[in-house]
Amino acid sequence: MNKITRKGLLRKPVLWVKRALILLLCLWVAGILLFSFLPVPFSAVMVERQVSAWLTGDFGYVAHSDWVPMSEISSPMALAVMAAEDQKFPEHWGFDMDAIQSVLDKDGGKMRGASTLSQQTAKNLFLWDGRSWVRKGLEAGLTVGIETVWTKRRILTVYLNIVEFGDGVFGVEQASQHFFHKPASRLTASQAALLAAVLPNPHLFKVNAPSAYVLRRQQWILRQMSQLGGESFLQEHKLH
């Protein structure tokens, strides 16, 4: 095999990789633009969970969410996730720099914590679970994208509709129906705080069988909701 032939063989895989990356970038850009006003039918994490279930032979598992607009989500639920996960959500541009610095100082640069609701939305919608610098880098770029194109209210709406509250339970409407047998519009502050309390790890922490830690976290979230200012906080920042 001569040099020209070898070079030709090497160029083809590189060319296909470039094309795949360009296609993926175009899909992400299209997703950011379209989902700024269209309901999100599914997320990348839902796809990941579904494929994982099929690979393990669980063909009864169906990963989906029941989309609802912010007007059909109770104000305590919107407030609870901010109180629990990202109290500076209305103020930052996708990244809580103080929280990031705190994690770096404490954990020597390990990739844990400090993710804002915007970052979590970008990851859940477009990427995969797990920790790597590649995923974090992509997450950062996508976060800038949704923060640029979407309103804060839209980011919060999408987050609440795709976040995982338990095994196979995606989105606040499905979670509300599954755990409390009522629509998300009727969630009380206590129920909203309990749902938010499991978000750090909904596979370990259970809404329907809360541990002592989850119950303590629920009470902490309720106090934070009150300190933020309750419904007036949402109205002030046009989040509900």
Q: What is the pLDDT of residues 19-51, one digit of tens each?
A: 778 888 889 899 999 999 999 999 999 999 999
Query: What's 86's domain CATH number?
Result: 1.10.3810.10
Concatenated DSSP letters of 100-141: HHHHHHHHTT-S-S---HHHHHHHHHHS-SS--HHHHHHHHH
Q: Are residues 84 and 8 in the same domain?
A: no
Structure confidence at residue 59 (pLDDT):
86
Q: Are residues 74 and 148 in the same domain?
A: yes
pLDDT band at 101, cuts 50/70/90? Answer: low
Which structural domain range is residue 29 located in? 1-34
Q: Are residues 152 and 107 in the same domain?
A: yes
**Portion of the chain with pLDDT greater than 90, in percent:** 70
Q: Are residues 89 and 176 in the same domain?
A: yes
Q: Mean pLDDT for the chain? A: 89
**pLDDT tens figures, 122-180:** 999 999 887 778 888 999 999 999 999 999 999 999 999 999 999 999 999 999 999 99
Judged against a pLDDT cut of 60, whether residue 9 lies above it is answered with no
**Portion of the chain with pLDDT greater than 70, in percent:** 88
pTM more than 0.75: yes
Q: Are residues 49 and 30 in the same domain?
A: no
Structure confidence at residue 10 (pLDDT):
57
Judged against a pLDDT cut of 50, whether residue 61 lies above it is answered with yes
Q: Are residues 83 and 24 in the same domain?
A: no
Q: Are residues 22 and 97 in the same domain?
A: no
Q: Are residues 183 and 67 in the same domain?
A: yes
Structure confidence at residue 20 (pLDDT):
78
Q: Are residues 129 and 204 in the same domain?
A: yes
Dihedrals phi, psi of 89, to nearest 5 degrees = -50, -45
Q: Are residues 118 and 184 in the same domain?
A: yes
Distance CA 164, CA 141 (A): 22
Which parts of the chain fold into alpha helices (H)? 3-34, 44-55, 75-85, 97-107, 117-126, 133-149, 152-162, 172-180, 189-197, 212-228, 231-236
Structure confidence at residue 25 (pLDDT):
85
Judged against a pLDDT cut of 50, whether residue 111 lies above it is answered with no
Distance CA 110, CA 107 (A): 6
Q: Are residues 100 and 217 in the same domain?
A: yes
Judged against a pLDDT cut of 60, whether residue 6 lies above it is answered with no
**pLDDT tens figures, 65-89:** 999 999 999 999 999 999 999 999 9
For 148: left if phi > 0, alpha if psi spans -120 to 50, otherwise beta; the answer is: alpha
Structure confidence at residue 62 (pLDDT):
86
Tokens of 99: 């929280």
Q: Are residues 47 and 163 in the same domain?
A: yes
Say how many domains are in the chain.
Answer: 2
